[in-house]
Structure 1
Amino acid sequence: MTYEELCSFEVLYKAYLEARKGKRSKSKTIEYEAQALACTEKLSRKLAVCNVRQPDGSIRQQIRYVPSKFEVFAVYEPKRRMVHAPAFVDKVVLHALVDNILYDALTKSFIRDSHASQTGKGTDDGLMRLKTHMVDYYRRESHGADGWVLKGDVRHFFASIDHLKLKRKLKAVLDKRGVDPRVYELLCIYIDVMEDGLPLGYQTSQLFALMFLDEFDHIIKEKYRIKYYGRYMDDFYIICSDKKKLQCILRDVRALMDSYGLELNQKTAIFPLRNGIDFLGFHSYLTDTGAVIQKLRRDSSKRMKNKIRYWETAYPAGEVTKQEILRSFDAWDAHAAHGDTYSLRRKYADRLEKLLDCKIPIHRKINSNKLARDRRRARQCRCIYKKQHKALSLSVSQNTRPAEIMPWA
């Protein structure tokens, strides 16, 4: 897609429809939606390239678009973070960039075990792959539950990403994919909205952060031939039977992170596999029989316990409604159902049943094998759809009957 196509009314209006999902009750969205056609047309003109005369008399095309001010607020779960939320008009531009160009250009080189911010992946997929890695290690490595884990985490990851290094990596990837250079210029404008690091809350920041450590993923997989490796943004693990090899990898990882301008935090360590791996909100243990037990992290359980204590005083006082309590508990229960947490969830549900005087069902344990099969079938369906769509497009362009290209049509 060229830069002119990206800035067209049709593409931006489609991006606006995506950006407003789940946000139609917010004031800024309502303001834009009230004059959606005019606002989108105005945005298209703002993004247009201008001819600027240089000091030597030559004419150079330049993008003069200036992003609006972002909103800064704090979130406190699972820990305190400052979020920089873009204005709604910038959300429209970011959706147009990511959905039409950036996602496909960047994610093509990502490894299977990079789990964050990608379609068909996420925390559920990361937990499922960790369980698969632990079971596979037990069955194939002939070491049983004996082994070692390198568990790492990057200190202040988003705030520490260097703009120059990021732009250099981004330009190399986009040039390789044949992306219009003016798209890179527009992306640089959004990179520079903060003096240091990347803003949490921008759609592009997630993909930029994943791309920044993509080289690190390939080094672990290809140079060190590590099979049991997974990463979710700045949090990663490596399972290996050789402790000395992990010590060597850790030294090289520290040097590599230093070259990126990053630093591993104090929690980074090598420890026995029997101790379990703390990853994506669960503590996963490999037993002597080869089973994997995934327990909810203690801080997540403690937060829900504290919430229930608050509800037990706030609900009788009318400070919180029954629907708000049920909605909050259901969200936590759906997350906790990925692990072996039935007794804990049932205990909390019983306390709420006494408080609210109603029956509260809890989710069944989510079967990771069934989840994997469902996702595999979904990927297969998407591949079949793409082949059919490509064949139909070819038949229209060549004035050919679909049956001549697709025997199953």
Structure 2
Amino acid sequence: MKVKSNTIFTYENLHRAYLECRQNKRKTINALEFEYDLERNLFLLLGELKERTYKPRSSICFVVTKPAVREIFAADFRDRVVHHLFVAQLQQAAEKIFCFDSFACRKGKGTHQAVKRIENFILKVTKNYKQKAYFLQLDLASFFMTIDQSILYSLVRKLLGTAKDLSMKEEMLWLGKILVFEEPARNFRHKGDKALYRLLPQNKSLFGVAKGKGLPIGNHTSQFFANLYLNEVDQFIKRNLKAKFYVRYVDDFVILSRDKERLKENMAQIDKFLKERLMLRLNLKKTRLQSLDKGIEFLGYFIKPEHILIKRSVVGRCRGKITSFKECVTTQNDKKKAEATLASYLGHFKHGNAYFLPKGLKANLMS
């Protein structure tokens, strides 16, 4: 009979985290180096965790420009394994408290499910498109850069509050503290064109935030922590404001209602809650309160009653990729990458009313 371990720091857990981590990172140099002497590297990492001497290594920092200018801190592969280990231990408990209508970075959810949910809500709120209705769309100002680490850690402690095994709880609190309060902007290596930082607003960079603020974009833990942090406002909107038709994807919120004045009140109430409880602010430039007939720009789609359109910017990026591929594809490996990218775009297009667009773009690539 197998005895259940009272520690999360086991070789089995770490190896499972490694398998999850390598799914999208297996061909990176960092991952290949780790895999070259896998068993030894896992045991070394396990020893650091058990002895509580583990410290994250330096991240790689770079700026991407598409679809928007963003700063990325890519953690070392061994640290990514630890991220997956940590999230795996909390995911089940977190799913029990997460709002159903939060769709980012959760198993069985995603962008297409979020769009379908809004489509279904539009049908209901307009009573089969027969009644006028409105939408309130909210976005947070510099969300990842303004997350308060102390508030976040208190939410991690709260989530772990029901843990029955005291030793496992202590391990998670210790590791959670390291991951929440890590300062990658103090321990990093630059990669890529440093001149791209000129395009990045200061409030979009960890180099410009106050101590105790911000999470790095790009980490598995950051995605999980974002959902844990914003679950507070999810619950406020659903329970306190009684919003029946509500969807969130990361920091993009949409509420539907036939009562425009109620949506105005909701906006003020949400703004107050964000400032007082989570130390966050709304991005007023991206706040919209309009008739559903105007359409909702959401996750690369333009959602209106009775139909969903693909945003022109998404189509433009796809055409740009195709042009680039036709000029640069020379090997079989290049062709596979091009086909994978095109398949991703076609998957996006098929969820909108663009009957002839995918066929035309595919023909363009093959010509």
Query: Which TM-score tier does this pair reach, normalised by the shorter chain?
Result: 0.7 to 0.9
Residues 68-123 of structure 1, C-alpha deviations (whole Å, 9 max, x = no match): 11112233332121221111111221222122x11112221111101111111111
2:319 paired with 1:302: no
**Partner AA of 1:234 in structure 2:** D
2:94 paired with 1:106: yes
Secondary structure in 2 aligned to 1:231?
strand
Unaligned runs of 5+ in 2: 184-210
* Contact 2:310-2:352 at 8 Å conserved across structures: yes
* Contact 1:105-1:177 at 8 Å conserved across structures: no
Match of 1:90 in 2: 79
Match of 1:176 in 2: 162
2:124 paired with 1:136: yes
CA distance in 1, matches of 2:78, 2:338: 33
Matches within 5 A, 1:339-358: 339-354=352-367
Sequence identity percentage: 29
CA distance in 2, matches of 1:3, 1:200: 33
Structure number with greater Rg is 1
How far has the Cα of 1:182 moved from its partner? Answer: 2.8
CA distance in 1, matches of 2:178, 2:148: 15
Q: Bigger relative contact order, structure 1 or 2, given CA contacts below 8 A and separation 6+?
A: 2
**Partner AA of 2:80 in structure 1:** K
How far has the Cα of 1:311 moved from its partner? Answer: 4.3
**Partner AA of 1:219 in structure 2:** F
Residues 333-389 of structure 1, C-alpha deviations (whole Å, 9 max, x = no match): 1111111112222332333333xxxxxxxxxxxxxxxxxxxxxxxxxxxxxxxxxxx
Match of 2:182 in 1: 193
Unaligned runs of 5+ in 1: 50-62, 287-291, 355-409
* Contact 2:139-2:252 at 8 Å conserved across structures: yes
Matches within 5 A, 1:243-322: 243-259=260-276, 260-265=278-283, 266-286=285-305, 292-311=306-325, 313-314=327-328, 321-322=334-335
2:110 paired with 1:122: yes
- Decide whether aligned partners of structure 1 residues 17 and 347 sit closer, same or farther in structure 2, where only a CA change above 3 A counts: closer
How far has the Cα of 1:177 moved from its partner? Answer: 4.2
Matches within 5 A, 1:39-78: 39-49=41-51, 63-78=52-67
Match of 1:377 in 2: none
CA distance in 2, matches of 1:75, 1:157: 17
Matches within 5 A, 1:146-161: 146-161=132-147
Query: What TM-score do you get using the length of structure 1 for normalisation?
Result: 0.75
- Decide whether aligned partners of structure 1 residues 68 and 321 sit closer, same or farther in structure 2, where only a CA change above 3 A counts: closer
- Decide whether aligned partners of structure 1 residues 347 and 251 sit closer, same or farther in structure 2, where only a CA change above 3 A counts: same
CA distance in 2, matches of 1:217, 1:175: 20
Match of 1:167 in 2: 153
- Decide whether aligned partners of structure 1 residues 15 and 307 sit closer, same or farther in structure 2, where only a CA change above 3 A counts: closer
Secondary structure in 2 aligned to 1:71?
strand
Matches within 5 A, 1:196-211: 196-211=213-228
Match of 2:244 in 1: 227
How far has the Cα of 1:19 moved from its partner? Answer: 2.0
How far has the Cα of 1:152 moved from its partner? Answer: 0.6
Secondary structure in 1 aligned to 2:63?
strand
CA distance in 2, matches of 1:37, 1:324: 31
Match of 1:5 in 2: 7
Select between 328-337 and 147-156 the one with higher mean Cα deviation. Answer: 328-337
- Decide whether aligned partners of structure 1 residues 181 and 5 sit closer, same or farther in structure 2, where only a CA change above 3 A counts: closer
Choose from 214, 217, 220 the match for 2:234: 217
* Contact 1:3-1:180 at 8 Å conserved across structures: no
**Partner AA of 1:68 in structure 2:** R
Residues 293-319 of structure 1, C-alpha deviations (whole Å, 9 max, x = no match): 11011211121223334445556x99x
